[in-house]
Amino acid sequence: MARYVRFDRFGGPDVLHIETEDDPPLPGPGQVRVRVHAGGLNPVDWKIFHGGPSAATYHAVPPCGNGNDFAGFVDEVGHGSTGVQAGDAVFGGKRMFAQADYVLVDPGTLVPKPDELSFDEAGSLDISGRTAIATVESLALTPDDTVLVSAAAGGVGVLAAQLAIRRGATVVGTASERNHEFLRGLGVIPVAYGEGLVKRVRSVVPRITAALDNHGPETIDAALKLGVPGRRINTIAARGHRTDAGIAGVGGAGVDPQRVGELAALIAAGEIVLPIDTVFPLERVRDAYEHLIAGHVRGKVVLALV
Ligand SMILES: NC(=O)c1ccc[n+]([C@@H]2O[C@H](COP(=O)([O-])OP(=O)(O)OC[C@H]3O[C@@H](n4cnc5c(N)ncnc54)[C@H](OP(=O)(O)O)[C@@H]3O)[C@@H](O)[C@H]2O)c1
């Protein structure tokens, strides 16, 4: 039997349901089949099933599958497929198809899962990992930089903050109070987001030289007020805001999935932390998205399929 998360119309998490088929799908030529163990959630998933601009971007026309990130074992190899074997532990992403017991993919898109990395962690890396890598690289950070990172405890922010620190930058991260101790433990200087942000940032560091926005216009406006040039501000959450100031909008789309292998190795070695906020069984997919949409996860929300 194979289960699939699907939606037949746009709407909130209650449009999601699980369909079952008697037999797992068979990989075609050049494909492999992965038995999925875990799959992380991303905001873009719900932005797609809600309809609106993201649905148009990804050409979503219900009925659709759901999710992107997954990790599991290769369990069938189609004719002519190379590079992986049945039994390999792997992770990757497949837009609007990942939340299923089995996914069929091009083996070239799969990344080997390090033994020390859990399926929950590996299955949470495709979008957040690629995005964190791309955004940090977009600013060419050096040890001379002090970078403001918004939503620094969130799925992208927590990875981006740690990658920035590894480049030698000082990181000031926005988060609610309950995440401040956690962020301090990662080497991030925490500040609360919301009204008075500029003043609070000034109280903890003498200057900000760059900004990575993972939440919305507030960080962009604060960074500009703090004297950061627009070309040293990147946003993944408020594209179109202050384009007059030259704000960049680099996301993860251009990053080769294999590059996430380097990040996976760092997490496996304990050099970077990817917190798993909550794991929900597949049957509770609606609850999992309600929790993500509420907007205060630390790290990643994961669906467990085994
Ligand atoms: N363009 C791309 O390539 C790309 C890729 C990935 C993501 N994105 C977008 O980037 C955004 C972040 O994604 P994500 O996966 O990191 O989301 P996420 O994990 O859901 O982010 C959750 C975090 O947001 C923080 N937060 C809540 N309210 C906030 C506020 N008012 N100001 C600052 N932070 C606040 C929370 O902090 P507290 O819990 O401390 O309140 C929480 O840690 C989403 O809009 C997503 O769609 C774009």
Both tokens of 298, joined, read 């630390």
Instruction: Tell me which of 47, 124, 184, 214 to substitute to probe ligand 1's pocket, judged by most ligand atoms within 8 Å of the beta carbon.
Output: 214
Q: Which pLDDT score is estimated for 4?
A: 98
Residues 239 and 206 in one domain: yes
What is the residue-wise DSSP string for 204-230? H-S---EEEESS-HHHHHHHHHTT--G
Residue 11: which CATH number?
3.90.180.10
Same-domain status, 77 and 178: no
- Asked whether residue 132 falls in the same domain as residue 240, the answer is yes
Query: How many Å apart are CA 293 and CA 290, to the nearest integer?
Result: 5
Report residue 136: phi and psi, to 5°.
-65, -45
Ligand 1 centroid, distance to 151 Cα (angstroms)? 5
Q: 96: which 2 tokens? A: 């609007």
CB atoms under 10 Å from CB of 55, counted, come to 18
Assigned token pair, 97? 């198809």
Is a pLDDT exceeding 90 seen at residue 138? yes
Residue 173 Cβ inside 6 Å of ligand 1? The answer reads no
Average pLDDT over residues 160-179: 98
- Tell me the CA–centroid distance for residue 226 and ligand 1, in Å: 22
Is residue 258 very low, low, confident or very high in pLDDT (cuts 50, 70, 90)?
confident
193 Cβ below 6 A of ligand 1: yes
Same-domain check for residues 213 and 169 = yes
Mean pLDDT of the chain: 98
Task: State whether residue 184 is helix, strand or coil.
Answer: helix
- Using DSSP's 3-state secondary structure scheme, residue 13 falls into helix
Q: Is 96 in the pocket of ligand 1 (CB under 6 A)?
A: no
Q: Report yes or no: 121 and 63 within 8 Å, Cβ to Cβ.
A: no
Q: Whose CA is nearest to atom 21 of ligand 1?
A: 154
**Strand pairing partners for 32?**
77, 105
As a whole number of Å, the end-to-end CA separation of the chain is: 13
Top mutation candidate among 156, 177, 220, 221 for ligand 1, by most atoms within 8 Å of CB? 156
263 within some domain:
no
Q: What total number of domains does the chain contain? A: 2
pLDDT tens track for 89-132: 999 999 999 999 999 999 999 999 999 999 999 999 999 999 99
What is the position in ligand 1's atom list of the atom closest to the CA of 156? 16
Q: Is the pLDDT of residue 257 over 90?
A: no
Residue 221 in domain? yes
Do 102 and 146 reside in the same domain of the chain? no
Looking at the domain assignment, is residue 101 inside a domain?
A: yes
Query: Domain for residue 292, yes or no?
Result: yes
Percent of the chain exceeding pLDDT 90 equals 99
Query: What is the model's pTM?
Result: 0.98
Evaluate if residue 63 carries a pLDDT over 90.
yes
Ligand 1 proximity of 81 Cβ (cutoff 6 Å): no
In a domain, 89, yes or no: yes
Query: Residue 147: its pLDDT value, please?
Result: 98
> Would you place residue 150 in the very low, low, confident or very high pLDDT band (cuts 50, 70, 90)?
very high
Residue 250: both structure tokens together: 């680099």
What contacts 24+ positions apart, CB below 8 Å, involve 231-238? Answer: 232/139, 234/135, 234/138, 234/139, 236/131, 236/135, 236/156, 237/150, 237/151, 237/213, 238/213
Range of the domain at 56: 2-125+274-304
- Cα 40 to middle of ligand 1, angstroms: 14
